[in-house]
Structures are given as C-alpha cells and as structure tokens.
Amino acid sequence: MKAAATALVAMLLMLAAPAAAVEPGEMLADPALEARARAISADLRCLVCQNQSIDDSNADLARDLRLLVRERLKAGDSDEQVVAFVVARYGDFVLLDPPFRATTVLLWGGPALLFAGGLTAIMMWFRRRRPDADAAPLSQDEERRLQSLLGGDGSGGPS
C-alpha cells in the first residue's frame, strides 16, 4: 500500500514537471504582474527548444527571457511593449503564433508547399509506373521471336 502511494505521488510530480520551469526566484512578488508575465511567457517561443514556450522550458536562454519579461514589466511596460521589445531583439520567430507578413509567408505557407510538392511527386511516380497505352503493338517478327523465347510452340508454356 505504501509503495502504491509513493508511485502515485511520483507520477503526479512527473506530470507537474513542465509547469515547474519558472523557478521560485524568478517569480514577482506582485501576483498581478506575475500573472501578466506568465501570460506573455506562454506566447513566446524558446529559441533553444523551439517547440516550447519560455514558460515551459528549462533552457538557460528561456530563463533569461523570462527574467527579461519580468524586468520590463517591473519597469512599467505594457504587455504589448514587452512583446514588441522581445520581437525587436529576436524577430518574429520568437512568437509561438507569428503574424502573417511578407517576412513570415514561408513560415505560414511552407507546410502547404511541402504537402503540394509531395503530392505532385507521388502523382508523377504513379503516372510513370502506369503501362504506356500508346505503345505500338508487336510486329509479326517480334511476335514470333517472343513465342520462340517463351516456348516455341505458341502455347505460352515451356516445351
């Protein structure tokens, strides 16, 4: 019974691990500012992990960005000013949901282009494998040679 309880506690702690990326020393004393910082951090991409927000990442750069966000908030910046500051420094790639612009069109359209290219390649491959309907029929000499190679008697089987 005690082992089962220990295993349950261990599993619950493992589930909470991603939420523990923000260390207690990083947190702001003001709960309203901390909530704003967490909301901003949830929308910023970790440049090391690239598939996590800086709020979820344990990377050193993500920690630095979390601290930067909190510094800017303590300095009195609005949420938009903080995000604009980080984007000015790292580019649109730092946003988990980047805006649709000329500079990000490949980011937004890239998956569709890759899908279309792959679909085109598959269609071309199948088209090449299809028997050629325009092939000329065998001449009588070619037909006799084929029959002799197949068995000689014209029955299609070996003689």
Tens place of pLDDT per residue across the chain (159 aa): 787 778 777 666 665 544 446 666 677 777 888 889 889 999 998 888 878 888 888 888 888 998 999 999 999 899 999 999 999 998 888 888 888 888 778 878 888 999 999 999 999 998 887 766 667 788 999 999 989 999 865 554 554
SS3 percent helix, strand, coil of the chain, rounded to 5, is: 65, 5, 35
What distance in Å separates the CA atoms of residue 63 and residue 57, rounded to the nearest whole number? 8
Among candidates 53, 75, 66, 78, which has minimal Cα distance to 25?
Answer: 66
* Residue-level length of the chain: 159
Q: What pLDDT is attached to residue 13?
A: 63
55 within 8 A of 42, measured Cβ to Cβ: yes
Q: What pLDDT is attached to residue 72?
A: 92
Q: What pLDDT is attached to residue 159?
A: 46
Q: Which pTM does this prediction carry? A: 0.55
77 conformational bin, left if phi > 0, alpha if psi -120 to 50, beta if neither: beta
16 within 8 A of 56, measured Cβ to Cβ: no
Q: Is 45 helix (H, G, I), strand (E, B) or coil?
A: strand
Eight-state DSSP code of residue 97:
S
Residue listed under structure tokens 């500079």:
103
Tokens of 69: 């966000």
